[in-house]
Amino acid sequence: MAAGLLACLLLAGSALGERLEENTLKAAMAVNIARFTEWPTLDDGVFRLCVYDPGGELLAAFRDLLPKQIHRRDLAVAPIRRTLELGGCQLLFIHDPERVASARLLTAVEGRPVLSIGDTPGFARGAGGIVNLVRQGRKLRFNVNLARARAAGLRISSRLLKLARIVGARR
């Protein structure tokens, strides 16, 4: 599994092509990050990945990954428009370039074992998210806010953290 993560992350270091390819890369990175994250409990046989994406392009990239499994659970991808739809999400990916819903969605999952991943600048710093996919030139990197991950009861593998940039307090 580590080889798969490294391959995905090495792809992140190569040149990014069209928007479609970038969305596919973001979706694959999010799924691989989830594979290296431990939740306090995972109850049923489904791993629910919720996506806030008003344009729908990133949602399509996540759906193109199916069928997949995370922690021996079938991956289910669900679009999110309102906070009421967040029940049962283990991973919440927020693509909110206009920043109209990020704060509301992150507040709704605060303190719950939900891995929040976003792609807007500052998502893992001041915005309240746990993982931020960051474009640096032609590369896609990721920042991790360990304090927020721990507050949510999540444990991120040290192998993954070696590839990440740690932001926020290191508690």
pLDDT of residue 169: 67
Question: Which residues, at least 6 apart from 98, have a Cβ–Cβ distance to it below 8 Å?
Answer: 54
Provide the residue-wise pLDDT of the chain in tens; the chain has 171 residues: 554 554 455 444 444 345 668 999 999 999 999 999 999 987 778 999 999 999 889 999 999 998 889 988 999 999 998 888 898 999 999 999 888 899 999 999 999 999 999 999 999 998 899 999 999 888 899 999 999 999 999 999 999 999 999 998 655
Q: Are 27 and 58 in contact (CB under 8 A)?
A: yes
The size of the chain, in residues, is: 171
For residue 4, what pLDDT is reported?
A: 53
Domain ranges of the chain: 2-167
Task: Tell me the three state secondary structure of residue 19.
Answer: helix
Per the omega criterion (within 30 degrees of 0), is the bond before 121 cis? Answer: no
Among 123, 117, 118, 121, smallest CA distance to 154 is for 117
Torsion of CA 81, 135, 60, 148, to 10 degrees: -40
pLDDT of residue 12: 47
CB-based contacts of 140: which residues, under 8 Å, 6+ apart?
12, 13, 16, 22, 25, 26, 29, 133, 134
**pTM of this prediction?**
0.87
pLDDT of residue 13: 44
Which pair of structure tokens corresponds to residue 125?
A: 């710093």
Please list the residues that pair with 118 across neighbouring strands: 94, 132
In terms of CATH architecture, what is 2-167? 3-Layer(aba) Sandwich (3.40)
Check residue 11 and give its pLDDT. 47
pLDDT (0 to 100) of residue 28:
95
Quote the tokens at residue 69: 């499994």
